[in-house]
Chains A and B, each alone.
Chain A
Amino acid sequence: MSGDRATAAVATREEAAALASRRDRPAGRRGRIPVGPLVVLGVAVAVWYLLSLALFVVPDPLATVRVLAGNFSSEEFTDAVRKTAVDGLTAFVLSVIAGVLLGALIGLSALARRTLEPAILALNGIPKIAIYPVLMLVFGLGSASQVTMGFIFGVFPVIINFGGALAAVPAIYGKVARSLSMPWHQRLLKLDIPAALPSLAVGLRLAFSLSLVGVVFAEIIGSKGGLGQIIISKYTLAQYDLMGAAVLLLIITSLAGTTSLWALERRMARRWR
């Protein structure tokens, strides 16, 4: 993708460069314990502990983990986790389906690319959270408005990454397909889609993260439940240990999902590039 094509597509470039640098490292370094990131984690926990001594609103790390473990199976937490997980996953799946279809349209049709791509890039550049009140007006406070918010957050990286990658498939692939007289569907399945898979994997990971962020954003602003709602209600009730536990759970869930998709992305990059 050229530098000016999209602000959102930049994530792909950052991460592509990061992946490239990782691939360039000697093979012997893979599989080693990641000392640096663990040191950063240790420093972060130490800072958290120091902050908990200075600020009454920050519970200390050990107490937060203990509260989380003690409340994890409570009905309130279970319901909230289930709601956020179901809404987040629904938004993610819808984002992927719509993103892949629209991305394929933009990537494979020059006419669609010329007409739709500028609008998609322009819409991606706006703070989507601003339209949440409109969703609440249309769908009410139920899950539909949060899922729609998550979908709006998550669909753009899939369209941009998949569409951009399909459009950038090297011309030599087309020549190979023509010389082998491949029918269009065979070319799509054997050449175009595999070539676009690494970028699609980046889009999927960003879509997962952003769908969850969109759902939690929406839950904080206005909803009938979910982890975002727990954070806001515990803050209002000055139950800071429970609020901290919900924040920690949310961060662990987001990072676990993102890290899994990141591993998938690296596997795809190694296999197809």
Chain B
Amino acid sequence: MQRELFRALWSQVLTFFALAVLIVAGWWLATESGLVDTRTFPEVGRIIGAQTQLSDPAPATFLDHLAVTTVRVLAGLVAGCLLGFGLGVLFWRLPVVGRALEPYLLAFYAVPLVVFYPFLLVLLGINSWPIIAISTVMCSVPVALNTWIGFREQKEIHKMVGLALQMPPLLRFRRIELPGALPEIFTGARVGAVYSLVGTIGMEFMVSSEGLGYAVRYQYETFNVPSMYLFLAATLALSFVVVTALLAVSAVSLRHHG
């Protein structure tokens, strides 16, 4: 398991850099040869040297926006993983609850949760909390489903070892059941991270006055196209860092899984 995860980690890192190089090279060729309209796709040099300071309504630097989005994504990810883990354990211990909620959880992909943002704005105010709330909920669903499956599909032999050794329930949970479910839980967390990013960036587009999503939209609306691409690149780089970091955490945490 660990070897597979490390291989996936390296593959992800190499692919990202290869893609980045290919896109920049293709972009440079297309703009320099006049294949594309440079008002829509500005030259690489103009993007790199673009203005990143947003003057209105809140003066903030590139790093300020990056920091705001990073905090929101991480808050949504951590809260979503905790909530999802709690729900997954609840479904495992009380299968009646799990089966009752199962159709709704599986249909979760069908509902664009961002349509609830007006309600959240009134409930939580115009600040970071509605964004973190959406991000948390979006992240929690895959984590809950995978946690539930991870505990439910334990190997029979593991359960029997716990019973044979007459381990108390808490010790059995800590030493046998939780480690057995960890690979599925981490897989759910990696999907959750992607949803957390989608929720955060999407909400920033729509309701926020800070963060990378807002900055991309602001630069688009003020016709500052090179800056828009710079913020967009930062958004994609942040996504890559979050997803790759979680893959690295999975690989290290699952080192005893062979």
Q: How large is the interface on A (under 10, 10 to 19, 20 to 34, 35 or more residues)?
A: 35 or more
If A37-B100, A119-B19 touch, whether A127 touches B239 (CB-CB below 8 Å) is: yes
The prevalent SS among residues of A at the interface is: helix
Could you tell me if A129 and B146 are in contact, using CB atoms closer than 8 angstroms? no
Could you tell me if A210 and B206 are in contact, using CB atoms closer than 8 angstroms? no
CA distance A93 to B118 in the complex (A): 31
CA distance A176 to B253 in the complex (A): 42
A2 on the interface (CB 8 Å rule)?
Answer: yes
CA distance A125 to B40 in the complex (A): 25
Q: Within the complex, what minimum Cβ distance (angstroms) separates B117 from chain A?
A: 9
CA distance A57 to B121 in the complex (A): 10
B32 on the interface (CB 8 Å rule)?
Answer: no
Could you tell me if B240 and A126 are in contact, using CB atoms closer than 8 angstroms? yes
Could you tell me if A235 and B114 are in contact, using CB atoms closer than 8 angstroms? no
- Across the interface, A250 reaches (CB within 8 A) one of B112, B119, B122, B217, namely B112
If A36-B96, A36-B100 touch, whether A129 touches B4 (CB-CB below 8 Å) is: no
**Looking across the interface, which residue of chain A has its beta carbon closest to that of B237?**
A126
- Across the interface, A130 reaches (CB within 8 A) one of B19, B100, B122, B213, namely B213
Could you tell me if B109 and A206 are in contact, using CB atoms closer than 8 angstroms? yes
Q: Within the complex, what minimum Cβ distance (angstroms) separates A163 from chain B?
A: 16
Residues from chain B with a CB closer than 8 A to the CB of A58 are: 119, 122
Could you tell me if A7 and B194 are in contact, using CB atoms closer than 8 angstroms? yes
B110 on the interface (CB 8 Å rule)?
Answer: yes
- Across the interface, B112 reaches (CB within 8 A) one of A37, A119, A216, namely A216
Q: B residues near A, CB below 8 A?
A: 1, 4-5, 7-8, 11-12, 14-16, 18-19, 40, 96, 99-104, 106-107, 109-112, 114-116, 118-119, 121-123, 142, 145-146, 149, 152-153, 183, 187-188, 190-191, 193-194, 197-198, 200-202, 205-206, 212-213, 216-217, 220, 225, 228-229, 232, 235-236, 239-240, 243, 247
Q: A residues near B, CB below 8 A?
A: 2-5, 7-8, 10-11, 13-15, 17-18, 21, 34, 36-37, 39-40, 51, 55-58, 118-119, 121-134, 136-138, 206, 208-210, 212-213, 216-217, 220-221, 228, 231-232, 235, 240, 243, 247, 250-251, 254-255, 257-259, 262
20 A-B interface contacts by CB (under 8 A): A3-B1, A4-B8, A8-B194, A10-B190, A11-B109, A11-B191, A13-B149, A17-B152, A36-B101, A40-B100, A57-B122, A58-B119, A127-B201, A206-B109, A209-B107, A209-B109, A217-B114, A250-B112, A254-B110, A254-B112
